[in-house]
């Protein structure tokens, strides 16, 4: 009976330690929308990641290998885990330092910055910008300046 109690306590401790784990993306299967996480000696099976929307409106942004994440494991079981991307690191620091800025930086150098304090949206692209619409494009502006070159 005492041995059984020791086993149960050890199992509870193991599960508690697994409820929240920091890790990094080991691999991503974009077609299956699943990634594997390396957290210490643990390499998970393919797990889903949390996104901002997954109903009638959906977003897509697959985590990349090496990206720091938090592994959330219901009941302390990594087999039931979900991945919460992402955690800034020294290798991948925050791209901005203002509560008024929403900025997305991509590996190819493209950047989209929304600065609500300045009332400005800036899109920097190393390539082309394609806009597809089935309706009308309307621009209302106090001034319009087109730059050539």
- Tens digits of residue pLDDT in 16-49: 888 999 999 999 999 999 999 999 999 999 999 9
pTM of the model: 0.84
Buried b (16+ CB within 10 A) or exposed e, 40-53: eeeebeebebeeee
Instruction: Report the half-sphere exposure of 20 (CA within 13 A, side-chain side).
Output: 3
Beta carbons within 8 Å of 77's beta carbon, 6+ residues apart: 15, 18
pLDDT digits (tens, 9 = 90+) for 87-121: 999 999 999 999 999 999 999 999 999 999 999 99
């Amino acid at each position: 009976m005492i041995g059984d109690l020791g086993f149960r306590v050890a199992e509870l401790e193991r599960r508690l330690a697994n409820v929240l784990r920091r890790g990094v993306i080991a691999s991503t299967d974009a077609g299956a929308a699943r990634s594997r996480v390396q957290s210490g000696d643990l390499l998970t099976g393919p797990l889903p990641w949390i996104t901002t929307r997954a109903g009638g409106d959906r977003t897509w942004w697959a985590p990349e290998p090496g990206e720091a994440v938090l592994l959330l494991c219901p009941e302390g079981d990594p087999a039931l885990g979900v991945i919460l991307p992402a955690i800034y690191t020294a290798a991948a620091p925050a791209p901005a330092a203002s509560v008024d800025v929403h900025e997305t930086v991509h590996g190819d150098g493209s950047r989209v910055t929304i600065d609500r304090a300045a009332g400005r949206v800036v899109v920097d692209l190393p390539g082309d910008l394609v806009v597809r619409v089935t309706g009308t494009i309307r621009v209302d502006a106090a001034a319009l300046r087109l730059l050539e070159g």
